[in-house]
Every structure is written in structure tokens, then in C-alpha cells.
């Protein structure tokens, strides 16, 4: 489990595509405190550390993960948002994020609003019904508050701190992003749809 508060920007240093795809990711994390088998959120995807070295760790992604997330487009030099797994007693600064990506979104516009930027993101109809104004959504692993929703497009504001502390400062129109809907929204929808036999 995660909170959607990004604590490092990693960079893909190597990609090996043999069966499952292996990514090596440079990080500022103290890897002496990261165990093999630990979970790290990589741009919103909960992935397992399978190897580590000085300033880097490796993860493996299955074909399913590559097809359902942005990982399939990652290459050497790709910058990614990183968050280590939540520990009991940690501050819950964002919202509860599982690291299980529900689907992809596309940035359709970026507009300056003072020092902040307003991003509008389009998602498929299967995800749009779970996104509500003033609700939470995780986009590329970042916990964000939804400002407005218009059909299958929603808006979020990215403040200057988030632009520099995450990959949001380098995002562009047309870019695909990983979307995880709020867990509460998922269960509320399931309860309202469920019809016992």
C-alpha cells in the first residue's frame, strides 16, 4: 500500500526484454534499507525489487503489466515517480493507493493558472464513472484531488512543488499516464451495482 506522495524521481538505466521485461532504475533511496522482495511504486505500479546495487534497483514486469500500463513505453532515460511502501505509523499525506493500475489516461491539455498548471486528462468510459469532483485519483502514482469532471475528462491542478518533486514538470499534451481510481469509489460502485440472485 502507498499514499501517492512521491519521494523520489527515478530514471530507467537499463531495459532487458527476455520473457518478462527487466528494468533497472537509478534512485536516491538508501538501498541498504530496501530489502529484496520489497514493493516500490513506480509511476503508480506496485513492483517488486528483484535485485539492487549502488544507487539502483531492478524490477520485472510481465506482458500483462506492460499492456495495461505505461511500462511498455519505458526506455533508457525514462523518468518515473517513486514511492516506497507505506509503513504502519507513517503519515497519510495523500490517500490509500494500492499500486494496481486500473487503466491509462491521456493528457489532453495543460494550462497555466498562476504558478500552478491545470491538467485535463481523458480516460475510458469504464474508468470515468469512478472519478468525481473533489474525489481522489492516483495519476502516475501521484495522489491528486479531482477539480472537475466533464464526461470522460477530468481536471487536476499541479502546484509548483509537485512540478519539481515529481515527473509532472516534464509532462506534455498527448502523454499517456497510469490511472488508479480511488478504492472507496470502486467499492461504492460495486455495492450499488450488485444484485443478489
pLDDT digits (tens, 9 = 90+) for 112-125: 999 999 999 999 99
- Residue 96 covered by a domain: no
Tell me: do 20 and 73 sit in the same domain.
yes
**Looking at the domain assignment, is residue 142 inside a domain?**
yes
Tally of residues, the chain: 197
* 71 and 22 share one domain: yes
Same domain? For 56 and 132 the reply is no
Give tens-digit pLDDT for 154-176: 999 999 999 999 999 999 999 99
Query: Which of 12, 49, 5, 13 is closest to 31 using CA atoms?
Result: 49
Q: Which residue did the predictor score with more confidence, 97 or 197?
A: 97
Is residue 13 domain-shared with residue 74, that is, in the same domain? yes
Residue 90 placed within a domain: no
* Contact of 42 with 80, CB cutoff 8 Å: yes
Query: What whole-number percentage of the chain has pLDDT above 70?
Result: 98
Class of residue 26 by CB neighbours under 10 A (exposed 0-12, middle 13-18, buried 19+): middle
Question: What is the pLDDT, as a whole number, of residue 194?
Answer: 67
User: CB neighbours (10 Å) of residue 178?
Assistant: 26
Asked if residue 188 has pLDDT above 80, the reply is: no
Query: Could you tell me the residue range of the domain that residue 66 belongs to?
Result: 8-84
Task: Find the CATH number of the domain harbouring 48.
Answer: 2.40.30.20
pLDDT tens-digit readout, 6-59: 999 999 999 999 889 999 999 999 999 999 999 999 999 999 999 999 999 999
141 vs 180: CA distance, rounded Å: 8
Who has greater pLDDT, 172 or 195?
172
Looking at the fold, whether 154 and 110 belong to one and the same domain comes out as yes
91 vs 168 pLDDT, higher one: 168
Segment 146-161 shows an average pLDDT of 97
Amino acid at each position: 500500500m502507498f499514499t501517492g506522495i512521491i519521494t523520489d524521481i527515478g530514471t530507467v538505466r537499463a531495459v532487458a526484454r527476455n520473457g518478462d521485461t527487466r528494468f533497472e532504475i537509478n534512485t536516491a533511496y538508501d538501498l541498504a534499507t530496501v530489502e529484496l522482495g520489497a514493493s516500490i511504486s513506480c509511476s503508480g505500479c506496485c513492483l517488486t525489487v528483484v535485485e539492487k546495487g549502488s544507487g539502483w534497483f531492478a524490477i520485472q514486469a510481465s506482458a500483462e503489466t506492460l499492456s495495461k500500463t505505461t511500462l511498455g513505453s519505458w526506455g533508457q532515460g525514462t523518468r518515473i515517480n517513486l514511492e516506497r511502501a507505506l509503513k504502519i505509523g507513517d503519515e497519510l499525506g495523500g490517500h490509500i493507493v494500492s499500486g494496481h493500475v486500473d487503466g491509462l489516461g491521456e493528457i489532453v491539455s495543460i494550462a497555466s493558472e498562476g504558478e500552478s498548471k491545470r491538467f485535463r486528462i481523458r480516460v475510458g468510459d469504464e474508468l470515468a464513472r469512478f472519478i468525481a469532483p473533489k474525489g481522489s485519483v492516483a495519476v502516475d502514482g501521484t495522489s491528486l484531488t479531482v477539480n472537475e469532471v466533464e464526461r470522460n475528462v477530468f481536471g487536476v491542478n499541479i502546484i509548483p512543488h509537485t512540478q519539481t518533486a515529481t515527473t509532472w514538470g516534464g509532462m506534455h499534451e498527448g502523454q499517456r499516464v497510469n490511472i488508479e481510481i480511488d478504492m472507496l469509489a470502486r467499492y461504492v460502485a460495486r455495492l450499488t451495482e450488485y444484485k443478489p440472485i
